[in-house]
Chains A and B, each alone.
Chain A
Amino acid sequence: MLPEQHDILFSFLTIVFTVFSVIVFINVVQQCKARKDASKAWPVIFGAFILANALFTRHMFTLVQQDQMSFFKWQALTVFVLLLTWGMFFKSENIEKQSPTMIRGMFFWMMVSLPLAGYANWLPQQRSDPPPKAAAITGEMTMEQYTEMGRVIVFGAQQVAGQKAIGKGQCPLCHTFDPGDNMGRCPNLFGVEERSHNRVKEDRYKNQPIKVGETDPASGVKKGATSGEEYLRESLQCPSCYVVEGFGGAGDTKSPMPVIVKPPISLDPVELNAVIAWLQSKETPGDFAKVTVPLPSASDAAAQPKKEAASEGEKPVFVTGSEPVDQMINTLGCPLCHTIPGVEGAVGELGPKLFEKVNAPKRIKDPRYKGKATNTKEYIRESILTPGVYIVKNDETGELYPDGVMPQDFKNKLSIEALDKLVDFISQTEPPPAG
């Protein structure tokens, strides 16, 4: 569901609860007719429950899913009180016989099904967006950026606790990259740069499973790498041109690996080179001497389909904390809304100015503040991760800044290091000296 839409499950439940209150009301009215001593106040009380639930249901349909989830607890509480009142009506005697079996069954089914939905929400959440049709290249790149692009193709930009992140290339599904790590599906790629040069000289490479000069029928690639770079490219474009011993089917003649330039992965030449560049440089961080692939030129960028520009927005944002703080802030888009001293071009007006060294202590003491922070850094951390906890007042207009404008998903875009670095920096921001 999109954030601006209703939550189907909670919308369903609110209707069920209202229907339930109607059924209880009918039951009570019938009982009152049968019992001569029953007070006439009971139907009124249970009628009030119908009214309350109907109003809750009506209100639920004016809310979007996030708000529905937080509001739903009040209706659940009302139904709980309704059940207690119903028990009081029967003086706790023979209650089970009073409700139709289908109602008890439905409650039981809900008691089983709802915790399952809760359990599903308790587990790590990862939404998988379709990969961009091709990575966006704008302007000139450095080799560092290009290898980083390769790393993102392999691992993706978004990290999830306890999971191996998987990018567009889907490589970590089968390959491992650290020394000694072995999943058993496909070869460990630690040291692959060095191996690539030696492999093309091996007899096994020259003769198995097809000979150099022959064409692989599945990929249509003619085998014949002579350098490390060519070997890596050939392995990606034609996995069955050479199969590492013990990792193939049919006597190590068929590789289980998909052809990377075909669907479903479909890397384009620029992306393919980026992966090769990363493979060649991954064991020498910061040193790109072993990278032999060329940087993508402006003509490569121009040759890409026009749609790629649109896919820029689809590229997930993630900052690791290794970047300079101003780069992090720009990547996250903070300057679009905030004025941030010390960051060039950060003069946004949509959100409050970030003078937190001065403002944060004041806001913690504000009676409107309902958060848990006790110091400046905690306040900033809270404001980044849950921006709605405290809405700052715009001193110029005298009104609150609009709620819900600031993205709620920074927790998915920041590593722990990046968050600490950002908090440290913002906690030191203060207004420029007067004059």
Chain B
Amino acid sequence: MLGKKARSLAAFPLGVMLAFAFYMLPGVVGMAHAKQVFAESAFAEEAFAKEAGAEEQKAAEEGPKVEWSNDVFYKDWEGNPLKGIVSGAPAPELTDTDYNHYDFAPSRIVIWISNQQHLYMGSFVLAVPIFVMVIEFIGIRCKERDPILSRKYDKLAHDLMKVSMSAYSWTAILGGILLFTFITLFPGFFKYLASVFRPVMHVYALMFLAESGILYVYYYGWDKMEHDPFLKWIHCSLSVLLNLVGTVLMYLANSWATFMQAPGGIDEKGRFLGNIWHVIHSTLWNPVGVHRILGNIVFGGGIVGAYAAYHFLNAETKEEKAHYDWVGYVAMFIAVAGLIPLPFAGYWLMKEVYAFRQQMGITLMGGIMAWLFIIQAVMVGLLFFGANSYLHNSMSRVKGSHRYMKYVKYMILLLILSFTMWMTPHTIVMTPAELKEMGGAQHPVVGVFGVMSAKNTAVNLMITCTVLCFLLYQRANKKITVPWATVGNCWLSAIFVWAAANIVYLGVYGYWLPANQRVGLSVPQVSSTLTTLFVGTAINSSMFKDADSYGEIEWGNQSKVGAYAMFLLAVAFTWMMGLMGYIRSSVRLFWHVTEVVRDNSPDAYTLTIGEAGKILTFNALFVWVQFIILFWIGGLSGKKAKAHDEVPEAVPVPAQQQQ
């Protein structure tokens, strides 16, 4: 038995070895064969390389075929134009046959509208995941401390993603429309742009695929990953990934626009010089990217604010009102947080524009585009107006605010006066006869308010008034108890009175100074305003130490006017975004790609301000029609779920217990 057993034991490894040998045999034979094939192949390749090398050597001896050319933007370390190997065809001299058009509208208007609608939607769907990431993160962090609030944040984030989901596919559709419009109406130019950006366009499409995949996992996995803390962190990480991919997508698309405005990586004839990174990373790429991220946050905040205001006005229960009042407040907070650094990104962008071509910067700020900045100034005034109005009306939800409400009417009066002065133009459209009748381009009385002295005074007063409004809102429900309360209040009053007096005095004094000296007065005026902001806020906040509270904030008690103030802010953001986009794009004037590809279409002109204003208004209204439809679609599933939930309950659920 043992011998048999031993044999059978010895037979097992033998069998295994035989099986292994049998298994290996074809491999060994195959390998030997492969080695032979490889040797033959290597020999052939070597021979080919020798042959090719000989040909190349011959070609090199005959003369170099590669052509070098100077980059239109990039410089080498000595400051001379960077040289690159010509790797593309020259830009075409476009003719009538390179453009198509419809009878109902000029092609440039059609492409403008397609582009702007896509950008609005794109901006929204890129902004929402940023909010959602932050809100979800806050929700996770405060879970242990305040589970109800944490749940509230999580629900808000989920709701926002729901709206964003319908907007996402809508954005893709609008992107398709934009692409087809571009290909069909500007085929010649598109061909050139596609030849330069070919690989970028493919990467863009792949990134879009990645964005969609992550978005679907993120949204549809929300409920499944909600309860396990580890999975919840994974879920939150997905939002980071989603934002990263979204940002890359936006930057890739930005590269086409920034290349058109300030090209790099090509020579004067428009020939690609072989380095795709130079083409992507042209001089305006970074500032435009940063500016757009911040702009998206502001715009997205405005839309979510309007969404909340819409639901606030529609709400039938106190709980709903409270929820959407709070959502609106969060959205406004996010929008303002994005708005504060936005001008600095704008300055950076403008600095780079000047660095690229000074005359492009001057065309923007002092040439044909300058009047558009006057409209931008009016929009800024409108934003201040909306922000103040929102703060005034928000006070009604804060207990103790009655102490300050009596000042509101004076602040509104000051804002109206300042805003009127702010938007009074220097000159207006007039017929020669009217011009003659008035005795010049400026009206003898109203014209006084059209100059820089009046404008600086008006805007500084508006900002100071907003700061004051913010400080009052901060302290509305606080009963100050610090022993130096009277001294602090006196200081605060003194700072604001001094700042206002200084601003007005310098404004009036400016009328007696020549223009080049008058410009210098804006610095002390702005300093006065900033003093109220920084010193005023510091003193105000210091006074809150050990302060008693008049009571909790009563969400849902905001007046309806506050909701309309949010609408106003949303419309102002929308209009201003369109306006600034138009300014940035149209500063190319009659070039598709500045100084390289001339626009030879019948639409190469730059529109009058009035014409542009009408298209901007159309764009703003049209996109809001779409947003309303999206809100409505987003609300359909909510209504269904709500109806289902409410049947067994039959009584309203308090906000704190809502899940």
Cross-chain contact A119 with B375 (CB below 8 angstroms):
yes
Closest approach, in angstroms, between the C-beta of A259 and any C-beta of chain B?
11
A385, CB-defined interface residue at 8 Å: yes
Flag A103-128 by CB within 8 Å of B: 1 or 0 each: 01110111011101111111111111
Contact between chains at A5 and B367 (CB < 8 Å): no
**Contact at B617–A114, with CB atoms within 8 Å?**
yes
Residues of A64-120 whose CB lies within 8 A of B: 101-102, 104-106, 108-110, 112-114, 116-120
B427 beta carbon closer than 8 Å to chain A = yes
Contact A101 B310 (CB under 8 A): yes
* Interchain CB contact under 8 A, A5 and B358: no
Asked whether B362 lies within 8 Å of A9 as measured between CB atoms, the reply is no
Complex CA–CA separation, A6 to B430 (angstroms):
25
Determine if B313 and A174 form an interchain contact, defined as CB atoms under 8 angstroms apart. no
**Is the beta-carbon distance between B357 and A258 smaller than 8 angstroms?**
yes
Which residues of the other chain, A, contact B363 by a CB distance below 8 angstroms? 170, 173
Q: Is A226 an interface residue (CB 8 A)?
A: no
Do A162 and B359 touch (CB < 8 A)?
no
Q: CB < 8 Å: which of B80, B609, B622 contacts A120?
A: B609
In chain B between 418 and 444, which residues have their CB closer than 8 angstroms to a CB of chain A?
423, 425-433, 435-436, 441-442
A107: min CB distance to chain B, Å: 10
Contact with A along B267-288 (1 / 0, CB 8 A): 0100000000000000000000
Please determine whether A12 and B622 come into contact, CB atoms closer than 8 angstroms: yes
With CB as the reference atom, state the residue of chain A lying closest to B374.
A123
Contacts A1-B109, A109-B571 given; does A117 touch B614 at CB 8 Å: yes
| A6-B105, A8-B615, A162-B427 known; A385-B589 Cβ under 8 A | no
Residue among A8, A106, A263 having the largest count of chain B Cβ atoms under 10 Å? A8
**Cβ contacts A1-41/B at 8 Å (1 or 0 each):** 11001111100100010000000000000000000000000
Contact check: which of A12, A102, A122, A414 meets B425 at CB < 8 Å? A122
The listed residue (B109, B441, B610) touching A161 by CB distance below 8 A is B441
Contact indicator A5/B432 (Cβ below 8 Å): no
Chain A contact residue count (CB 8 A cutoff) = 61
**B624 & A106 in contact (Cβ 8 Å cutoff):** yes
Nearest Cβ on chain B to A17's Cβ, whole angstroms: 12
Interface SS of B by simple majority: helix
Q: Which of B103, B431, B612 contacts A5 (CB 8 A)?
A: B103
A-binding segment of B61-69, B237-245, B590-598, B639-647? B590-598
Q: Closest CB-CB distance, A384 to chain B, in whole Å?
A: 10
Q: Which residue of chain B lies nearest to A170 when distances are taken between CB atoms in the complex?
A: B359
Q: Interface code B249-268, partner A: CB below 8 Å = 1, 0 otherwise?
A: 00000000000000000001
Query: Would you call A109 and B433 a contact (CB within 8 A)?
Result: no
Using Cβ atoms and an 8 Å threshold, which residues of chain A touch B441? 161-162
**Could you mark each residue 345-388 of chain A with 1 if its beta carbon is under 8 Å from any beta carbon of chain B, else 0?**
00000000000000000000000000000000000010001000
State the CA gap A424–B428 with chains docked (Å).
27
The answer to whether B564 touches A108 (Cβ under 8 A) is yes
A13 to B571, CA, bound (A): 17
- Chain B positions within 8 Å of A263 at CB level: 268, 591, 595-596, 598
Contacts of B564 in A (CB 8 A): 108
User: For the complex, is A179 an interface residue (Cβ under 8 Å from B)?
Assistant: no
**Is B137 in the interface zone, CB < 8 Å from A?**
no
Instruction: Give the distance in Å from the alpha carbon of A373 to the alpha carbon of B78 in the complex.
Output: 70
Any chain B CB within 8 A of the CB of A292?
no
User: Given the complex, which residues of A lie within 8 Å of B81, measured CB to CB?
Assistant: 217-218
Residue numbers in A under 8 Å from B617 (CB-CB): 9, 113-114, 116-117
- Tell me whether A182 is interfacial, beta carbon within 8 Å: yes
State the CA gap A30–B436 with chains docked (Å).
Answer: 58
Contact B568 A112 (CB under 8 A): yes
* B423→A8 contact, CB < 8 A: no
User: Is A341 on the interface with B (CB-CB < 8 A)?
Assistant: no
Given A105-B628, A108-B564, A162-B442: A258 and B359 interface contact (C-beta under 8 Å): yes
Closest chain A residue to B375, Cβ basis: A120
Q: Is the CB of A264 within 8 A of B589?
A: yes
A6 touches B104 (CB 8 A): yes
Contact A414 B590 (CB under 8 A): no
Does B168 belong to the interface (CB within 8 Å)?
A: no
Q: How far is the CB of B475 from chain A (nearest CB, A)?
A: 31
Interface residues of A in 163-213 (CB under 8 A from B): 163, 166, 170, 173-174, 182, 184-185
| CA of A173 to CA of B433, assembled, Å | 29
Is the C-beta of A416 less than 8 angstroms from some C-beta in chain B?
yes
Q: Is B217 an interface position by the 8 A CB rule?
A: no
Complex CA gap A110/B433 in Å reads 33
Output the least CB separation between A389 and chain B (Å): 13
Q: A114-B617, A416-B436 are in contact. Are A123 and B610 (CB under 8 A)?
A: yes
Tell me if B368 and A126 are in contact (CB < 8 A).
yes
Tell me if B404 counts as interface (CB < 8 A to partner A).
no
Q: Mark B106-123, 1 if CB is under 8 A from A, else 0.
A: 100100010000000000
B611 interface residue per 8 A CB criterion:
yes
Chain A residue, CB-CB nearest to B378: A119
B299 proximal to A (CB < 8 A): no
Closest A residue, CB atoms, query B103? A5
- Measured CB to CB, the nearest residue on chain B to A133 is B598
* Chain B CB within 8 A of A428 CB: no
With CB as the reference atom, state the residue of chain B lying closest to A161.
Answer: B441
Contact sample, A vs B, 10 pairs, CB 8 Å cutoff: A5-B104, A8-B618, A9-B615, A102-B632, A112-B567, A121-B429, A122-B610, A174-B359, A184-B516, A385-B431
B residues at A contact (CB < 8 Å) = 79-81, 103-106, 109, 113, 268, 306, 310, 313-314, 357-359, 362-363, 366-368, 371, 374-375, 378-379, 382, 423, 425-433, 435-436, 441-442, 516, 564, 567-568, 571-572, 575, 589-591, 594-596, 598-599, 604-618, 620-622, 624-625, 628, 632
Known: A173-B366, A263-B596. 5 other contacts (CB 8 A): A9-B617, A182-B516, A258-B357, A264-B595, A414-B432
Interchain residue pairs A-B with the least CB separation, the first 9 = A120-B613, A162-B427, A130-B590, A121-B610, A263-B595, A128-B606, A117-B617, A125-B608, A162-B441
